[in-house]
Amino acid sequence: MKYSKIYLILVVAVFSAFVLVFNFFERPRISELEKRELATFPAFSWNALAQGQFTDSVSKWYSDSEPFRDRFMSMSMTIKDYLALKVAQGEEEQIVFHASTDEQQNSESVENRNIEEYKNTVTADENAKIAHAGILILGKEPTARALMAYGGGPEGGVAYANAANKYKEVFGRGVNVYCMVIPTAIEFYCPESAKSSTKSQRATINNIFAHLSDSVRAVDIYTTLGEHAAEDIYLRTDHHWAPLGAYYAARKFAAIAGVPFRDLSAYERKVVHDFVGTMYGYSRDISIKNSPEDFVYYVPTEVEYTTTYTNYSIDKSYHVTGEGKPFEGQFFGTFKDGSGGAYCTFMGGDAKITCVKTGTHNGRRVLLMKDSFGNAIPGYLFYSFEEVHVIDFRYFTRNMKNYVRENKITDILMANNTFVAYNPSTANSYIRFLDQ
């Protein structure tokens, strides 16, 4: 009877503590772990109440914005990681990932192409495990790396190539059109034991380039990046490449475009320490949180430039709802050590039109059409073009023909990562821009 009372007191105390925390402590608005805004308390209306929408929204807000959300999730990851280690205790390799062989590539299609696959000599023998959402975790903290598997086939990306061809057809000889497809980190760092968990991005990229017209210039950065894979060209804890990878890509583009380019001695090296990016939230693996890295970026110092932004307003579904007035701002933002938003150093994000006027005077004006990978490229082109324009395929609402004519664009660079280039909706967006 004595122990029953003690047990009852403990249960009541724990329950009371949870009631106190979940109902009276401040609720967060943003999850640093998941890199997203959390649900907010809904506005009341009698119509929403009658249809059940109000109570559903309150329930979502209550469960999505609980106090100390990120801490609880981190604790959960730590416990799961500890249990996994206990299961594997005594083995030489604590967790070994055995890649699935259920899905195989179309070998006939791959063999008929000049693949020139990159040979991984950096992390080929790394131990790997599979985490949440199929994310591969390589190595151990404090230098663990997270990789997102690629599922596209060797025949994909034709629509993307056709979009580039259409732009060249529309703008003719007066505008140079370039196509850059950016491979993601798994292409260079996937260990041999996990090869069958991902598909060849080289095959997709080759297929895209094979469908380009002779008048569109391919910017093939695959081999360039492979040559520098031992350097920090990709972030370990984020799905983006590192600014150094974008530097090598921009250098390759400048060579093909026939414009001047400066090496890194013309830039100031800046560092955000203890950066942990998006892959912590995607993988929900505690080893990524415990493997912070330096986010290193480069600011041009020997050229003058002025940046003008036109911001888009977007709703919770990321649809454009309005366009603001142009204003001048900084191209490079600043973030404190430990900030998970450091990749927003460049232009502060995606939902905007950016125009940079530089001190370079050569009559060349480039328009970069991109996803978030492309954000790290423009800062390396201030020595190469007198104007650098940047738009994102998800948000542009103007008429592209008018934009190119009014801004006297001479060069158009389509630069998207392989996942985005493979998706036909990307090409559809670019085609829609021409007549919207």
- pLDDT, tens only, 334-369: 999 999 999 999 999 999 999 999 999 999 999 999
Q: Tens of pLDDT along 36-61?
A: 555 566 666 677 666 666 666 655 64
Mean pLDDT of 233-243: 98
pLDDT tier, 16 (very low <50, low <70, confident <90, very high otherwise) = low
Q: Smallest Cα–Cα separation from 246: which of 146, 353, 372?
A: 372
Residue 367, phi then psi, degrees to nearest 5: -110, 120
Q: Is the pLDDT of residue 89 over 80?
A: no
The Cα–Cα gap between 22 and 312 comes to: 35
Q: What is the DSSP letter of 266?
A: G
Residue 14, phi then psi, degrees to nearest 5: -65, -45
Strands 327-329 and 320-323: unpaired
Q: Is the pLDDT of residue 101 over 60?
A: no
Q: Which of 7-16, 83-92, 330-339 has the lowest mean pLDDT?
A: 83-92
Residue 31, phi then psi, degrees to nearest 5: -100, 110
Q: CA neighbours within 13 Å on the CB side: how many for 3?
A: 0
Q: What is the DSSP letter of 249?
A: H
Contact present, 283 and 135 (Cβ < 8 Å):
yes
Q: Is the pLDDT of residue 99 over 60?
A: no
